[in-house]
Amino acid sequence: MNDILEFWYDFASTYSYPAAMRVEREATAAGLRVEWKPFLLGPIFQRQLGTHDSPFNLNPVRGRYMWRDVERLCAADGIPFRRPSVMPRNSVLAARVGLIGIDEGWIAPYSRALFTANFAEDRDIGEAAVVADVLDGIGLPGGELVARATSADERPRLRKQTEHAEKLGLFGAPSFIRRGELFFGGDRLAQALAWRG
Amino acid sequence: MNDILEFWYDFASTYSYPAAMRVEREATAAGLRVEWKPFLLGPIFQRQLGTHDSPFNLNPVRGRYMWRDVERLCAADGIPFRRPSVMPRNSVLAARVGLIGIDEGWIAPYSRALFTANFAEDRDIGEAAVVADVLDGIGLPGGELVARATSADERPRLRKQTEHAEKLGLFGAPSFIRRGELFFGGDRLAQALAWRG
């Protein structure tokens, strides 16, 4: 257990994008293995805050800063960024596919590709065709996986994952858990990696 | 102008405490001079969010994390921390006194002493006697300064300061401004110091 970093993220979350692009590289350098944990922020915001929209949309002053901040973070990390025309995008299907990716071992490249589609290519990751195309692009059977992810068998898993996130005390994304300790925000990655409990 | 880092903070803001304790040391090491800018978050939250309480009280899940996070930050920085029995405390008088401290050149030691009273000694900085005592403790005439800070001449200054903060796009504290660029959060200090525009 001690060599694991849990990385909790929502595919619609702006700050999750740069975190997803560097978490594995930095965790590996620190001798840790990343457990990728896609979940949904929407139901958590709804239960904790009673709101349906992103906090960045609810406070436009904060939203304006967030876009600038994410742009700066991406520039500093050398990753492409194009402000999505819609925020937040529906990340339900993306997360459901992600849960299959955990089982099958392709969650990391899939997550990076899907984040890139949303935040560097302004593609609507809420659309099944886009998710399927991203999967095809990394050599996976997109159509088949999207169909499986939306099947009656698979659907309850994401709700359970999100409930689990809430039990862990999560209230935003990205978040990291290291030896039972919660860290919120991409800027806490180094602290989480160094955490000795 | 290029050698200046503006440091915007509220004496009631938890994350402003560790930032205040290290900003001058780190800015000086980077060759910059700190302009200390106390302001009030309350009226800004009220205007931007329509809420009267701290966001950390409005979402107890986030609040619980914040206390743990601040405790960890203070431990990492080697500064004392004791969770205040009341949060947020009324920071109006503290900020008014701070504006005089800017004029008279004692804003930095005063700010550090007052933050310490709130976040390491659990003293009620909303009380005039406490603010006066903190001033006395750093060799300043506490009673006299508190009286001046609450005089009719002084009172409009803090409202102007807070309006100015809002015009700059501030929505939280601590915030830094470097060469016209806004950075939010103590974890952005290094980025603000390194900013070349």
Q: What would the pLDDT profile of B103-151 be if each residue is shown by its tens digit?
A: 999 999 999 999 999 999 999 999 999 999 999 999 999 999 999 999 9
CA distance to partner chain B, nearest, from residue A49 (Å): 6
Where are the extended beta strands (E) located within B151-194? Answer: 175-178, 181-184
Number of A/B CB contacts below 8 angstroms equals 51
Q: What integer pLDDT is reported at residue A51 of this predicted model? A: 84
Task: Find, in chain A, the residue whose alpha carbon is nearest to that of B166.
Answer: A61
Phi/psi at B109 (nearest 5 deg)? -65, -35
Cβ distance of A69 and B187 shorter than 8 Å: no
Query: Is the Cβ pair B76, A188 closer than 8 Å?
Result: no
Most B-contacting residue of A187, A193, A196 (CB-CB within 10 A), to test interface: A187
pLDDT of residue A197: 79
Which residues of chain A have a CB within 8 Å of the CB of B184?
65, 69
Residues 6+ apart with CB under 8 A from B49: A58, A59, B55
Q: Which one of A58, A65, A169 has the shortest CB-CB distance to B61?
A: A169
pLDDT at A53: 82
Q: Which residue has the tokens 């009656």?
A: A152
Neighbours of A30 (CB within 10 A): 15
Rounded Cα distance, B16 and B163, in Å: 19
Please choose, from the candidates A86, A15, A44, A69, the residue with its C-alpha nearest in 3D space to the C-alpha of residue B171. A69
Residue of B nearest to A62 (CA): B171
pLDDT given for residue B92 in this prediction: 97
Check residue B49 and give its pLDDT: 87
The Cα of B49 is separated from the nearest Cα of chain A by a number of Å equal to: 6
Residue type, B81: F
Per residue in A109-166, pLDDT (tens digit) is 999 999 999 999 999 999 999 999 999 999 999 999 999 999 999 989 999 999 999 9
Nearest CA-CA distance, residue A183 and chain B, Å: 8
Q: Taking chain A, what is the end-to-end CA distance rounded to the nearest angstrom?
A: 13
How many angstroms separate the CA of residue A61 from the nearest CA in chain B? 6
Residues A136 and A113: beta-carbon distance below 8 Å: no
pLDDT of residue B196: 87
Q: What is the Cα–Cα distance from B22 to B76, expressed in whole angstroms?
A: 12
Q: Say if residues A95 and A39 touch (Cβ distance below 8 Å).
A: yes
Say if the Cβ atoms of B171 and A62 lie within 8 Å.
Answer: yes
Out of A61, A72, A184, the one facing B48 most closely (by C-beta) is A61
Backbone dihedral angles phi then psi of residue B177, each to the nearest 5 degrees: -125, 130
Mean pLDDT, all residues of chain B: 96
Name the residue ranges covered by the structural domains of chain A: 4-194
Task: Tell me the C-alpha distance between A25 and A27, whole Å.
Answer: 6
Which pLDDT score is estimated for A111? 98
Q: A184: which chain B residues are within 8 Å (Cβ-Cβ)?
A: 65, 69
Q: pLDDT at residue A1 above 90? A: no
Percent of chain A with pLDDT over 70: 99
The four Cα atoms B117, B119, B124, B128 give a dihedral, to 10 degrees, of 40
User: Testing the interface with A: which of B51, B61, B184 to mutate, by most A Cβ within 10 A?
Assistant: B61
SS3 call for A23? helix
At residue A35, the pLDDT reads 98
Cis bond upstream, residue B174 (ω within 30): yes
Name the CATH superfamily for B4-194. Glutaredoxin (3.40.30.10)
Distance from CA of A60 to the nearest CA of B (A): 8
Which of A72, A170, A187 lies nearest to residue B187, judging by beta carbons? A187
Residue type, A16: S
Task: Report the run of H or E that residue B3 belongs to, with start and end.
Answer: none
The full DSSP string for B51-109 is --S-HHHHSHHHHHHHHHHHHHHHHHHT------SSSSPP-HHHHHHHHHHHHHT-HHH
In b/e form, how buried is each residue of B112-128, taking b as 16+ CB within 10 angstroms? bbbbbbbbbeebebbeb
DSSP annotation of A93:
H
Choosing among A48, A171, A193, which should be mutated to test the B contact, i.e. which has the most B CBs within 10 A? Answer: A171
Classify B35 as helix, strand or coil: strand
Average pLDDT (B85-94) is 96
Cα B31 to Cα B193: distance, rounded to the nearest angstrom = 9
Beta bridge partners of A35: A6
pLDDT of residue B51: 84
Instruction: Give me the pLDDT at residue B2, please.
Output: 67
- Examine the pLDDT at A79 and tell me if it is beyond 90: yes
> Which amino acid belongs to residue A153?
D
Q: How many CB atoms lie within 10 A of CB B75?
A: 12
How far apart are the C-alpha atoms of A39 and A157, rounded to whole Å? 10
pLDDT at A2: 66
Position B52 confidence tier, pLDDT thresholds 50, 70, 90: confident
Is beta strand B33-38 parallel, antiparallel or unpaired with respect to B4-9?
parallel
For tokens 């915030």, what's the residue? B175
| Predicted local distance difference test score (pLDDT) of residue A57 | 87
Which run of H or E residues covers position B135?
helix B128-137
Mean pLDDT of B25-46: 97
Contact A61 B69 (CB under 8 A): no
Q: Which residues pair with A184 in a beta bridge?
A: A175
Residue B111 has which token pair? 């700010």
pLDDT tens readout for residues B147-173 = 999 999 998 999 999 999 999 999 999
Which residues on chain A are in Cβ contact (under 8 Å) with B187?
A: 185, 187-188
Q: Bridge-partner residues for A176, per DSSP?
A: A7, A183
Rounded mean pLDDT, B99-105: 98
d(CA B191, CA B178): 10
pLDDT at B53: 82
A7-64 pLDDT per residue, tens: 999 999 999 999 999 999 999 999 999 999 999 999 999 999 888 788 888 899 999 9
Query: Average pLDDT of A93-116?
Result: 98
